[in-house]
Chains A and B, each alone.
Chain A
Amino acid sequence: MSHLPMDSLLSLREPGREPGDAGAREHLDACPHCQAELDRLHQRIAHLKSLPALHPARDRWPAVAARVRGEARRRRLRLAGLVSLATAASVAVAVAVGRLSPPGPTVDPRQIQQFMEQSQALESALRQYDPESRVLDGRTAGIAQELEDRIAQVDRQLEMADLLQHQSREAQRLRLWRERVGLLDALVDVHVTRASNVGL
């Protein structure tokens, strides 16, 4: 007497009926050997399902979160790039209009120079602190990232400000350099405050 092959036994476990299942079922009802085989198959699968869960040796969430944050940052920068294009278009219009408008308030170039120097000093302090080599907690890293993004935006606006007519340009540059110093100051604060909090 030939017995049911494995594929027939397996197909008897499937929810839908396959051609040949009726014949296989008929054989099964009359064959204790195949009944025992099917029972062993059920048991083997139950055993497979009850194998202990395996756990990863390392926590991979920090790596996933870092990639997600990196992608979100790139997305924001792409978006900022589009905004910059739109701003550039507005600047071009402003340049054209500025030629027809009366001159704005006079800006002392020494003020701009002063903010530029402060900015350089803060960047130098940051370089010495070397934030890239230090481990940040998620919240601090998020704040630092946000500040760095905003500084990058200010830098792009500074580049575009060069397109403006002299007096408007200097007023714009003064405002942007002041903003840049404020952001850098906050960034230094984020790193150094965190460092002093944890005793680094």
Chain B
Amino acid sequence: MQSYLLANAESVVARARTGDPAALEALYRAFEVPVYNLARRICRTPEDAEDVLQETFFEICRSIGRYREEGSLWGWIRAIAASKALMRLRRNKYRETDELHDDVVGHRREDTHLRMDLEAALERLSETSRAVVWLHDVEGFTHEEIGELMGKTSSFSKSQLARAHARLRRWLGEEASA
């Protein structure tokens, strides 16, 4: 995927800047899956993630002229995708499911040591926590960048990450006996 684009990224970007439809489509084809993957890990539904994919590439097509090649192309695209995905979260204002469940059945769950696989546990996190985990641990955003994207502080990102990992550890049955 990206290896293809990296081989001729400069030429594709240069052509995309002129509005060349084939070059814009080449960008889409090269980054469609990673953008969707990021969006899908953050958004609750596949439909939302597809909308984020579409919004992200529309923005890329509009603003490719502003890409300064100071960082990696994927870094630039990733920032747009993350911003669109978080915007979608704010718009939808999904209920924070794990917060609700923790209030109601949190202690019971700790007792039962319910084991889940990582996918299911990730899905169970609140949107905010899951977004922080994915952006920080997988996509490599810093806490400062995440805080900025979310309109919060870096401390907020750090504390969300710590809480999320504590939950994942518990849900995955990874707690060691002290």
Contact = CB atoms under 8 A, between A and B. Distances in A.
Given A45-B137, A54-B36, A61 B169 contact: no
B19 to A, nearest CB: 7
A60 B172 contact: no
Interface stretch (A35-43, A91-99, A187-195): A35-43
Interface string B82-119: 00000000000000000000000000000000000011
A59 to B, nearest CB: 8
Q: Which secondary structure dominates chain B's binding surface?
A: helix
Interface in B46-65: 46, 49-50, 53-54, 57-58, 61-62
Given A48-B118, A65-B25, A53 B33 contact: yes
A57 interface: yes
B77 interface: no
B7 interface: no
Contacts of B133: 48
Contact of A48 (B54, B61, B138): B138
Contacts of A44: 118, 165, 168-169, 172, 174
B145 interface: no
B75 interface: no
Contact of A60 (B53, B61, B137): B53
A65 B40 CA distance: 22
Contacts of A56: 32-33, 36, 46, 49-50, 53
Contacts of B49: 54, 56
A89 interface: no
A10 B168 CA distance: 14
Given A53-B34, A55-B33, A68 B24 contact: yes
A48 B122 contact: yes
Contacts of B58: 64, 67-68
B54 A60 contact: yes
Q: Which secondary structure dominates chain A's binding surface?
A: helix
Contacts of A48: 118, 122, 133-134, 137-138
Contacts of A51: 118-119, 122
A5 B178 CA distance: 12
Given A10-B158, A44-B168, A45-B137, A58 B50 contact: yes
Contacts of B137: 45, 48-49
Interface of B: 19, 21, 24-25, 28-29, 32-34, 36-37, 40-41, 46, 49-50, 53-54, 57-58, 61-62, 118-119, 122, 133-134, 137-138, 158-159, 161-163, 165-166, 168-169, 172, 174, 176, 178
Q: Which 7 A-B pairs have the closest CB atoms?
A: A7-B162, A6-B162, A60-B54, A56-B36, A54-B40, A64-B57, A68-B61
28 contacts: A3-B178, A6-B165, A7-B158, A10-B161, A10-B162, A33-B176, A37-B176, A40-B169, A40-B176, A41-B165, A44-B118, A44-B174, A48-B122, A48-B134, A48-B137, A51-B122, A53-B34, A56-B53, A58-B50, A60-B50, A61-B25, A61-B28, A61-B29, A64-B28, A64-B58, A68-B58, A68-B61, A71-B62
Interface of A: 3, 5-7, 9-11, 33, 36-37, 40-41, 44-45, 47-49, 51, 53-58, 60-61, 63-65, 67-68, 71-72, 138, 142
